Amino acid sequence: MAWPALGGAVRPHEREPAGGPSAESRPRRPDGGAATTIEPFLALLLGHPLPVRFELWDGSAVGPEGGVGSVVVRSPEALRHALWAPGELGVVRAYVAGALEVRGDLFEVLRALRRSLADPLRADPRLMARAVQALVRLRALAPPPGRPSVEASARGRLHSRRRDSQVITHHYDIGNDFYRLVLGPSMTYSCARFAEGVAGLDDAQASKHDLVCRKLGLHERPACRLLDVGCGWGSTALHAAGHYGAHVVGVTLSAAQAELARRRVQDAGLEHLVEIHLQDYRDLEGERFDAVCSIGMSEHVGRDGTAGYFELLHSLLAERGRLLNHAISSVGGSVMRPRSFIGRYVFPDGELLDVGEVVLAMERAGFEVRDVESLREHYARTLRAWVANLDADWDGAVELVGLARARVWRLYMAASANAFDDGGISVHQVLGVKPSSTGRSGIPATRRDWQ
């Protein structure tokens, strides 16, 4: 999966970083200065001509005027980050630390930068030499700056219970109030479904919950026992219990999620139908359910654990029980490596599978796969709504989680929206059933039953 290397917008209320006033407070020098010096280095990274305008700390600038936006390089520290951590990690560190900003249309600037990324190792040696000279002149060859404190530092064996708990805490236990600000009242952190006649985000999330419930056949089986793996703040569980009378067990590794989910269950008066457990899914052996939903969960399992994941879920289901796996996918698969933005700041140890691998793994576990549906465009629209929510109360977000983490989230969600827009990643719902001994599935003959 390809992720843009830079994102975030200039917010007029953000504090200036240490080291002097920002570029916008200095007199403008349209050419010369630091911009002329740095141009070979930018050309090495992005090719020529430059895709967007770059504004330097001394007021000089280089690149096209009147485009989709510009990148503001607030200090030479940004170059030091890029030099000592080549690739997107260094650039993102500069952005998170406040040494880089973006003016204009965030989504379009990210898209332009992504299209233009070059491979410095294939550059003309003369250009590379000029780029090094530029870094020397701009005093960017100093020791590396410190890393932003919001970087993840997971330790232990990959996908051990202890490490998985660490990475879930890193992403999800940053404050329920912040998630409410971004996600809105639905508190649903997965792709919404903007069905015909559905406009608002909350209604679109309700539409998605209902689609999941109907695919699982909850409307046909009163008092069905449902397992919600990675239940988040309990939104799907609440919908299944409140609309279909399902008895739901939700499990999560996030203490913050479990706490709020239990409170929401109480507020809805559904304690008799919904249980929320702070529990690893691997400790569910011996349970029995009529249906299982896994929404935005299997991305945390990893390729090596996928077979065991679906085998366990299969073992938990009664005959003719259904599994709905809703997950982000990537053609050929994609690993969130430690030196990537997503792997270091957002979803440590995350891994996206090709939807074909998911189907095969479910079949090998004993499921009959009955339906595969892509909601790719819906996720792009969902993410844009989340970015709009964040922008609408930026001051509140910064107060809740700090400026660095708010920057991470804005970049991550905008870059993700672009990736769903252009098909770099997708999201699929895969419906499987555990057939009875006679081969009967109980699945309706057409999709009409849940559309």
Express each pLDDT in 216-235 by its tens digit: 999 998 889 999 999 999 99
- Per-residue pLDDT, averaged over 402-417, amounts to 96
Architecture of the domain made up of 161-449 = 3-Layer(aba) Sandwich (3.40)
State the DSSP string of 168-234: HHHHHTT-HHHHHHHH-TT---S-----TT--SHHHHHHHHHHHHHHHTTTTTSTT-EEEEET-TTS
Sign of CA dihedral 1, 87, 6, 117: negative
Average pLDDT, the chain: 88
Nearest to 339 by CA among 82, 22, 85: 85
The answer, yes or no, to whether residue 279 has pLDDT greater than 80, is: yes
Phi/psi-derived region of residue 60, left when phi > 0, alpha when psi is between -120 and 50, beta in every other case: beta
Express each pLDDT in 302-339 by its tens digit: 899 999 999 999 999 999 999 999 999 999 998 888 78
Domain regions of the chain by residue span: 23-137, 161-449
Cα 304–chain centre separation: 21
Q: What span, in angstroms and rounded, lies between the C-alpha atoms of 110 and 342?
A: 15
The answer, yes or no, to whether residue 211 has pLDDT greater than 80, is: yes
Residue 123 confidence (pLDDT) = 67
DSSP 144: P
Please name the residues in contact with 397: beta carbons below 8 A apart, sequence gap of 6 or more. Answer: 178, 181, 182, 390, 406, 409
The token pair at 218 is: 């909850």
- Per-residue pLDDT, averaged over 269-298, amounts to 94
Express each pLDDT in 363-381 by its tens digit: 999 999 999 999 999 999 9
The answer, yes or no, to whether residue 404 has pLDDT greater than 60, is: yes
State the DSSP string of 4-35: -S------TTSPPPSSS--GGGSPPBSSSHHH
Q: Which pTM value belongs to this model?
A: 0.89
127 against 387, higher pLDDT: 387
